[in-house]
Chains A and B, each alone.
Chain A
Amino acid sequence: MGFWQKLFGKKKKITKQEDIPPTKSIDKNLEIIKEFFKDCEDIVYREFTIGEGGCKAAVIWTDGLADRDLLNEFILEPLMMDARKVQPGYKEIKNNLVKFVEEKTLVTADIGEAETINDAITQILSGESALLIDGSDKIIVIDSRGWQSRGISEPETEAVVRGPRDGFTETMRFNTAQVRRRIRDPRLKLKHHQVGERSKTDVAVMYVDDIVNKNVLKEVEERLNKIDIDMIIDSGQLEELIEDEWQSLFPQVQNTERPDTVASALYHGRVAILVDNTPFVLIVPTTFNMLMQSAEDYYERWDIATIIRILRYFCIVIAITAPALYVGITSFHPQMIPTDLALALAATRRGVPFPAVVEALIMEVTIEILREASIRLPGSIGSTIGIVGGLVIGQAAVEAGIVGPLMVIVVAITAIASFAIPSYNLAIAVRLIRFGLLFSAAAFGLYGIMLAILVILIHLCSLKSFGMPYLSPFITFVQDSSDLKDTVVRVPHLAMNKRDINAPKKEKGRLDDHQEEDFDIEDNIDEKK
């Protein structure tokens, strides 16, 4: 029951309502609760008497959230029917009725007590049932959560060819179980918070106690406690409230639908934040490198994964710079490319009435519209529209002489390249940055592109995610080059004998029994210094 105490220990800080202690009279209590639940017609009050000639009691629950079968069979039946049949009778146990009920009558797995009526109300709204007994100032809370929920299905946003197919669902308890299933270690800790003054959304913080970066954990707890908002619907809102730089385009918190990704992150000393009512789990701290990784990299052969990762980094470069380079080269530096190509390029652009930047803008905006439209369309039509939009409009635009054919190729490659970025929130940032680069290339050519890349680099360098520099393994490799093993390359698992940058230095070693000396020596040197 520590779980609920923790939950409500936090709540006291947030809530401004005065706590009302329950009284000994059930009528009084019921009156207060009914006052709270005025006009809430989905709240069910079931009043009855316990046993033969016993005292009054009432069970309160929210219809739809509580499991009705459980209530009938394991709460109402023992209290009303069985209590009559068996000894001791009501009169003998009158004085410690509550204790008796709790210990011997209720046959449910999890019961607790609410300290105040406000507590009880939150519990009822979370799907628990409250049992009130006349003559007692205690409210027994019975775990009866049981609502309809979506089953575990494959995560659509992070599909893999090889790897586990289960994804998170909207119920947090299932999600924590899915993570727990992968980490059978008592050192995996789980702490509950409640966020949102009205929504009282459950938020769970998961970490592995000995390998987590304590500073990050402290920071997470602090930021979660600092949140002052009425409701949280999705983890996206929470992400914005706890991230370091909300002005930045770049996501500083990773989100995933995959339990295996979360488990792997926890094993590397990161912290997972699970939010109720959403399948998207947040992982912090997040670096740029982590957003460029896919879960599948670890399940496929290492050499192939490495090549694919290099390809992915190449793709992000294309996605950011390709249209800008086209504009820069055609309008400022045609001498850069081979003469034949430059001539061919000029010939295709001969009939185009616009400067290169307008040409690029027309095509880029078109493709962005197509993208946005295809999300709204039902799946089956979506792909058709993609083909119609991509092929037909592109072809028609070239034939109409609005854009050059090379521009269509560049825009198409750019769009495809941006889909190769594994995390969607990074990909949309890249989409926007591309336009910035386009304009700076239009103004200053390659010089503009260089400056724009510098600005992006400066921004990335100054970003931090929960105290971790955003470009982490790339800027700290001098101190510890082992962090580079899991970046652009993915070395074989045998060689990945160290946890990544998130874990504290002492806990870096992974395969303790095999490579112990390796990192021990390093630690000793550090201590000597």
Chain B
Amino acid sequence: MYSNNDRVSYYQIINILVLTLIGVGILTLPRDLVEIASTDGWVILLGGGILAMGIAALHGYIVKSFPGKGYFEILCLTLTKPIAYLLTVFFIIYLIGTNGFLVRIFAEVVKVMLLPHTPIEMIIFAMLLTVIYLVREGLEPLGRLTNIIFPTSVIIVLILFGLTLGEVDTSNIRPILQTPPLQMLKALDIVIFSFLGFEMLLVFGAYIDKPQKATRIGPLAVGAVLIFYLLLNFSVLLNFGPAQTENLIWPTISVFKTIDLPGAFIENVEVAVMAIWVFTVFTTLDSFFLGITILLKDVCSTKEHNYFVLPVLPFIYFISMYSISIGDVYQDFGIFSDYTAYIILSIPLLILLVMAIKKVFKKDGKESI
């Protein structure tokens, strides 16, 4: 289908999904959790994560039911063609918007952490250029790239987490279960949003070499991310406690700043953290961007996806420059997500519903004969 005969293995798609899920959300997640539920953030995280695993499994089930079919084709088969066009275009808009905001947040962080004097446009542009280089190469190189990045990051991240636990106050994570359950339920959506990205499974589903295993992919990926988030949440809380966490802009980076390696050549390990983070955000951006081009390819029924790479670029750049300050970015992103993400998450449910109805009708038809 592509020049790089795209087929990703079962393991590669899990790696892609894990790295897609972990994006810019991790920077603020511990703060969000503390704001909602103080020290009980992990309970919500666990609940939301398990729920997200369930939803991801449903996505996988759809992929399994339509082996080798792309998102657009699945929609065509279940929800008729006009609706399929509408929803796919909506999905594309959602991905373009998300990509734009993500790259902006990313650039803001890079500007603060690494390049205070460089114009943000240049940071965004350099990143997007790197992203489109991989998008043009297709899905298979992305799979291979994640195969390298994922294990390396896991090892380094685990070491870093270990190091953050050097001087901690265990009283910071107490008291447990003080938040009323209703408040926790209300906060579930924020947590599920932080797991967004697994919907890419539907887009990449057509390229998995063993679609029969697809149901396991989503839960495994989300589960891995859940473990990572839990570790992160505990690490931040243990180090700072709820009161301090609430006042940090990016608690995740702050927690790694606490690492002190006596006698090491590198003064602060932020750079290692930044490097891994740049890599994970890169894969997030890339898989979203690739999703856009693959969907566009399906909608326009062309053979190659790389024609769409450059035309999409200005839109993403425009959205990334839309908001004025970092505060606005988060606000606008929140509004954008509210308008789009619910619909995106409900599309699979709709597909499942139609599948179920069709099944019932089929059975009825058989019995009547």
Residue ranges of A at the interface with B (Cβ–Cβ < 8 Å): 332-333, 335-339, 443-448, 450-451, 454-455, 457-458, 461-462, 464, 469, 471, 474-479
- Cβ-defined partner of A461 (8 Å) among B144, B268, B271: B144
Q: How far apart sit A25 and B4, CA to CA, in the bound complex (Å)? A: 59
B307 lies within 8 A of chain A by Cβ: no
A451 and B271 in contact, given A336-B266, A458-B141 (Cβ under 8 angstroms): no
A461 with B266: in contact, given A332-B114, A446-B271, A455-B130 (CB under 8 Å)?
A: no
Chain A: CB-nearest residue to B11: A478
How many angstroms from the CA of A337 to the CA of B270 in the assembled complex? Answer: 12
A333 and B148: CB pair below 8 A? no
A448 touches B137 (CB 8 A): no
- Are A447 and B147 in touch, CB under 8 angstroms? no
By a CB distance below 8 angstroms, the chain A residues around B141 are 458, 461-462
Cα(A206)–Cα(B141), bound, Å: 31
Please name all residues of chain A whose beta carbon is closer than 8 Å to the beta carbon of B138 when the two chains form the complex.
Answer: 462
> Which single residue of chain A is at the shortest CB-CB distance from B150?
A478
* Most chain B Cβ neighbours within 10 Å, of A336, A454, A477: A454
Once A458-B145, A462-B4, A462-B141 are accepted as A-B contacts, the answer to whether A445 and B278 lie under 8 Å apart by CB is no
A455 to B265, CA, bound (A): 27
Q: How far is the CB of B139 from chain A (nearest CB, A)?
A: 11
* Smallest beta-carbon distance A474→chain B, Å: 6
| CB contact between B265 and one of A338, A457, A477 (< 8 Å): that residue | A338
B156 adjacent to chain A (CB < 8 Å): no
Instruction: Write the nearest CB–CB distance from B150 to chain A, whole angstroms.
Output: 10
Q: What separation, in Å, do the CA atoms of A446 and B118 have in the docked complex?
A: 12
User: CA separation between A476 and B133, bound complex, in Å?
Assistant: 23
Q: Is the CB of B118 within 8 A of A337?
A: no
Point out the residues of chain A lying under 8 angstroms from B4, CB to CB. 462, 464
CA separation between A462 and B268, bound complex, in Å? 34
Q: Is the CB of A336 within 8 A of B145?
A: no
The answer to whether A336 touches B271, judged by C-beta atoms less than 8 angstroms apart, is: yes
Interface size on B, residues (CB 8 A): 34
A-chain residues with CB within 8 Å of residue B142 when the two chains form the complex: 461
Please give, as numbers and ranges, the residues of chain A lying within 8 Å of B147 by CB-CB distance.
Answer: 474-478
A478 and B154 CA atoms in complex are apart in Å by 15
For residue A450, which residues in chain B have a CB less than 8 angstroms away from its CB? 274-275, 278-279
Is B267 positioned at the interface, with any CB of A under 8 Å from its CB?
A: yes
Closest Cβ–Cβ distance, residue A97 to chain B (whole Å): 60
Cβ–Cβ contact A461 & B123, under 8 A: no
Q: Is B168 at the interface (CB under 8 A from chain A)?
A: no
Q: How far, in angstroms, from A487 to B122 measured CA to CA in the complex? A: 38
B282 interface residue per 8 A CB criterion: yes
**What's the Cα separation between A338 and B266 when bound, in Å?**
7
Across chains A and B, the number of contacting residue pairs, with CB separation under 8 Å, is 87
- Contacts A333-B114, A471-B144; A479 near B9 (Cβ below 8 A): yes
Judge whether B87 is part of the interface by a CB distance below 8 angstroms: no
CA A18 to CA B268, docked complex, whole Å: 75
* B266:A337 contact, CB within 8 angstroms: yes
The 6 closest A-B pairs by CB, nearest first: A462-B141, A461-B144, A461-B141, A462-B137, A475-B147, A478-B11
CA distance A471 to B151 in the complex (A): 15
Q: A337-B266, A339-B267, A462-B4 are in contact. Are A457 and B148 (CB under 8 A)?
A: yes
Q: Given A444-B126, A447-B115, decide whether A455 and B148 contact each other with a Cβ distance below 8 A.
A: no
A479 touching B278 by the CB < 8 A rule? no
Given known A336-B271, A446-B271, A448-B126, contact A454–B118 (CB-CB < 8 A): no
CB pair A336 B127 closer than 8 Å: no
Q: Could you tell me if B123 and A447 are in contact, using CB atoms closer than 8 angstroms?
A: yes
CB-CB under 8 A from A445, the residues of chain B are 114-115
- Beyond the given A464-B4, A475-B148, please list 15 additional residue pairs across the A-B interface where CB-CB is below 8 A: A336-B266, A336-B271, A337-B266, A339-B267, A443-B126, A444-B122, A446-B271, A450-B279, A451-B130, A458-B137, A462-B144, A474-B148, A475-B144, A475-B147, A477-B147
Using CB atoms, name the residue of chain B closest to A452. B130
Given A450-B279, A451-B130, A454-B282: A336 touches B268 (CB 8 Å cut-off): yes
> Is B352 an interface residue when CB atoms closer than 8 A count as contact?
no
B110 within 8 A of A: yes
Which residues on A sit within 8 Å (CB–CB) of B114? 332-333, 445-447
Q: Are the CB atoms of A479 and B130 closer together than 8 Å?
A: no
Smallest beta-carbon distance B256→chain A, Å: 14
Residues of chain A contacted by B145 (CB below 8 angstroms)? 457-458, 461
When A337-B265, A455-B130 are in contact, do A469 and B144 touch as well, CB less than 8 Å? yes
24 contacts between A and B (CB under 8 A): A332-B115, A336-B266, A336-B271, A338-B265, A339-B267, A444-B118, A445-B115, A446-B275, A447-B123, A447-B126, A450-B274, A455-B130, A457-B145, A457-B148, A458-B130, A458-B145, A461-B142, A461-B144, A462-B137, A462-B140, A462-B144, A475-B144, A478-B147, A479-B11
Nearest chain B CB to A328 CB, angstrom units? 10
Instruction: Tell me, in angstroms, the Cα distance from A171 to B105 when the chains sit together.
Output: 63
